[in-house]
Structure formats: structure tokens, C-alpha cells
Amino acid sequence: MHSNAIYDSLSHILHSPVIYIALVRHNNDEYFFCVGNHSFFIIDSQLNNVKAEVFYAHVERIILDTSKDKLLLIQLSDNKDSGVPAKLILDTENRYFLVEQLKSAWKTDYMFRIGNMPPLKITLTSFIRTSKRFASVSECSISSHKTHI
């Protein structure tokens, strides 16, 4: 169960309803990942700065690491904000719930904007890890098993 006060406060700060919050790591930094109705937000762990707002229209697919149950990659389209990387590699303890919330929000937003509901592309693969940092996505194998959910 979550605290309504936290969700309400973040919704007020972001000017958008927040459906789900997860703590994630990206490039060894921690962030709060907030799932909203039409976009997701990345906020620094001190809640001082909204690092990015990414509209679901810019999410092309989600790639799940089959060898590590905490890793996922969100691949974005070229239309995204130029300050956001095209590929977000995230590490989270709550990957399953985060992906479920993203799928639901993405489908709802797509249906709201377009009027039909195709599946969000989910790809299962194994990321390559080099030393203490993740390899770039171009070095990762992304050809394994594809599912549409």
C-alpha cells in the first residue's frame, strides 16, 4: 500500500497525476521513476529536480534482461526531448510492477490519443555487462525472444 500524501505531493509538483513510483538506478545514480497518465517522470533521489518527462508516445519498446531480473531498457523514438537518452537502462528492485504499470499507462495513453490499442512491444534478451558499467546498448544483444503484451 502506498502513501496517498506522497502520491498527491508528487502529482502537485509534476502537474500530473502519479499512478506509480519506483526507485531506479541509471548510470549509478538513483532516481524516482513516476508513472503518470500520459508520460513518465524521472526525478533525482533528493526530490529537488525533475530530470525528464517522457511522453508515452515516444516509447518504442521495453527490453527486459532475462539474466538479471532487475534490469530493463526503455527504448525511445527520435521525437523524444533532445535532453533524454534514446535508451534508458534502468536497474530496479520492482521491475515487474514498474513494467506492468508502464504497459497499462502506455496502452491507456495510446487508446486516448489514437483510438485503438496495439500491444506495447516487449523484448526479452540478455544484456552484456562490462566491468562496473553497462555496455552501450549497441553492444547488447537485442535479438532474442520478442513478445507483444
Q: Which helix (H) or strand (E) holds 123?
A: strand 121-125
Q: Collect all residues with Cβ–Cβ distance below 8 Å to 78 and sequence separation of at least 6.
A: 86
Residues of the chain above pLDDT 90, percent: 47
Q: What is the pLDDT of residues 30-81, one digit of tens each?
A: 999 999 999 999 999 988 899 999 999 999 999 998 888 899 999 999 888 8
CB 117 within 8 A of CB 140: no
Average of pLDDT values for 109-135? 71
> Which pLDDT score is estimated for 101?
95
Global confidence as pTM: 0.80
- Rounded mean pLDDT of 101-105? 94
Scanning the structure block, which residue is given the C-alpha cell 510492477? 97
**What share of the chain has pLDDT > 70, as a percent?**
83
pLDDT exceeds 60 at position 117: yes
Distances (CA, A) of 7 to 1, 36, 68: 12, 11, 29
Among candidate residues 77, 83, 74, the one with its CA nearest the CA of residue 103? 74
**Contact by Cβ (8 Å): 36, 14:** yes
